[in-house]
Chain A
Amino acid sequence: MDEKKTAASPSAETMIERAVEESVSRAVFSSVIQRREFMRLLGGAGALAALNSVFPLDAAKALAQEKPGPIEKKELKVGFIPITCATPIIMAEPMGFYKKHGLDVQVYKASGWAMIRDMSINAETDATHMLTPMPLAISMGVGSQAVPFVMPAVENINGQAITLHVKHKGVKEAKDMKGFKFCVPFDYSMHNFLLRYYLAEGGVDPDKDVQIRVVPPPEMVANLKAGNVDGYLAPDPFNQRAVYEEAGFIFMLSKEIWPGHPCCAFAAPKEFAQKNPNTFQALFKAIVEATQYAHQASNRKEIAKAISPRNFLNQPVEVVEAVLTGTYPDGLGNTKTVPDRIDFDPFPYHSMAIWIMTQMKRWGYLKQDVDYKKIAQEVYLAAGCRDVMKSLGYKAPAQNSMSHQFMLGKNKVFNPDAPADYIKSFAIRRA
């Protein structure tokens, strides 16, 4: 048994496993001292292996998990923002993933991220689509009242882009963007942090040399068309929509900054998860299953059709399809084929959370000093996600953290074990 994993963020299943192991070893050894001695001699994992030889531990675990208990709350409301990042959360309703796990979920379209935050904090929604930095920021009380949140799963990786106005077709690198007016959807978004990262790596100070405004995505397209802004780093379909409207072109996909970066996520107040453990588990499973389904490239066309109607994204099917299949016109006259333009992967690496927090610190959003690792463990339920993935028969990463490889700049590898040094390594920073 991996000690660290359970200490980090125990899911219901690991807790059951632990309880079974505990009671079996209690049954075998009459005294605590005897048991501790045995454990010390063989080591935790070795002791369990030895016990397993006399008692069918795996069978007991499976038995204990067979009946997860009744679902506390069947009818749920899940908030979402109409962008392709929310694909698994949205499609799980029309395609029956929630129903399969015994839930009656209504997905509720919200008009902006501040609204998503407030409706979730106020418990008007039970769980919600969020940007990956949001549950961290809300849990820390940064740009919000402090409410503990958990983030069981990432929704999409990649899938964003820098779109520039058609008059900027000559722009080649960040240096050429001095004086630009940019839009991002929210302060606590990967869009903001990736745009800042990209600009700063090119020697452009995002706070001094350019203007970055928070603007709702549909307004971005209208502003780009009117020439009020020079570009944006935004979620799709609004990059593809700018191409469709002949107002902009796709300058760079976000995966060209950080391949495999997380973007949107599925999150809930910790209180909801604790009060309704079985409901939370069922929801968790439905989301992971839908995310895995969306990961399969062959399912993307069917998904595009399911989520385009007015009830969900309210976008032309061809725009959503261009985003999800990765075969798209880039607005410069080329048709590109990038199958992983957007991808879906539920695993919430702690290292992703730590990178996000380093950027919050770097740009002055996070004023206080925090224990990056501790917050990452509390909010991003990596171990829980691993268990759910395994229980559904998917392969899951063995580690909760990894080093992430960036494409630009001197400091390309992010080592999650040394966040403070990482922040100091940047020339342009506010902290």
Chain B
Amino acid sequence: MISLALLVLFLSVWQLSTKTTATGPSKGLPSPTAVGARAWEMISDPFYDRGPNDKGIGVQLAYSLGRLAVGYSAAAVVAISLGVLLGLSPSLYGALNPYIQVLKPISPLAWMPLFLYTIKDSGISAIMVIFMSSLWPILANTAFGVAGIKRDYLNVSALLQLSWFKRLFAVVLPAAAPAIVAGLRISIGSAWVAIIAAEMLIGGTGIGYFVWNEWNNLQLSSVIFAILMTGFVGVLLDLGFGTLAKTLSYKE
């Protein structure tokens, strides 16, 4: 209720402040009504395709989500397998930890020029940026989760003489699942943040390119609309992982 009131207050202040300064052709920020009109225009025809450089907002979002899916899944597979290894073996963890600490804080975008130079493909480079941005949170959380599994569980599974494979899928992964999903949830957010910046660099398709293209035209109402759309998609992605986390959590 309070958030709704805040929204109304924010919109009316915005509307009033833009009206008073709007004298020239595109002075200042566009008003919320202008953004609304623009949004309606975009949403009412989301899937048009007028050549390689002009596609509807739905198509652009689909491109971004497609990149996200590929880069993110690859990162999840690599990070979870590596994380389980690190979590089960404290000595390996100790050996790799310094490198992880150095690599972790690097902005995923900083990798872009290196990827472009080595991979020689802008599309794959963008996906690699997603990969780098989602890798570390999943890795850290998985290792943490696996390392924190109660010794009892592992001892029991050893006592039962479960195979290595069975031990992993019947004991280790389910026990560490809440921590892993928490990592997945953090990293989907950072991946979605990174894809927009990466697409602003490579151009062509995606919601990031859309923002850049509209910025080129200083068409701020479109830019604001795109910002709202990315926020909206981000919330949906987070909600999805929130539900997943709930179903996977367990009581000791």
Contacts and interface: CB of A to CB of B under 8 A. Distances in A.
Given A106-B52, A109-B53, A314 B213 contact: yes
A109 B25 contact: no
B53 A122 contact: no
A111 B120 contact: no
A330 to B, nearest CB: 16
Contacts, number: 79
Contacts of A244: 25-26
B118 to A, nearest CB: 10
Interface in A60-107: 82, 106-107
A221 interface: yes
A420 interface: no
Interface in B199-214: 200-204, 209, 212-214
B45 interface: no
A118 B53 contact: no
A312 interface: yes
A111 B208 CA distance: 11
A115 B201 contact: yes
Contacts of B202: 111, 115
Q: Does more than half of chain A's interface fall in helix, strand or loop, or is it mixed?
A: loop
B115 to A, nearest CB: 10
Contact of B218 (A112, A115, A241, A246): A241
A316 B200 CA distance: 21
A141 B57 CA distance: 40
B98 interface: no
B85 interface: no
A246 B218 CA distance: 13
Given A109-B213, A111-B212, A241-B218, A310 B53 contact: yes
A112 B201 contact: yes
Contact of B216 (A82, A107, A119): A82
A112 B209 CA distance: 12
Given A109-B213, A112-B201, A222 B218 contact: yes
Interface in A394-408: none
Contact of B204 (A109, A114, A121, A316): A109
6 contacts: A107-B52, A108-B203, A122-B122, A218-B217, A314-B216, A315-B216
Given A218-B215, A314-B217, 8 more contacts: A107-B53, A108-B53, A108-B203, A115-B202, A221-B218, A245-B24, A245-B27, A246-B27
Question: Closest 3 CB pairs between A and B?
Answer: A311-B54, A111-B203, A122-B120
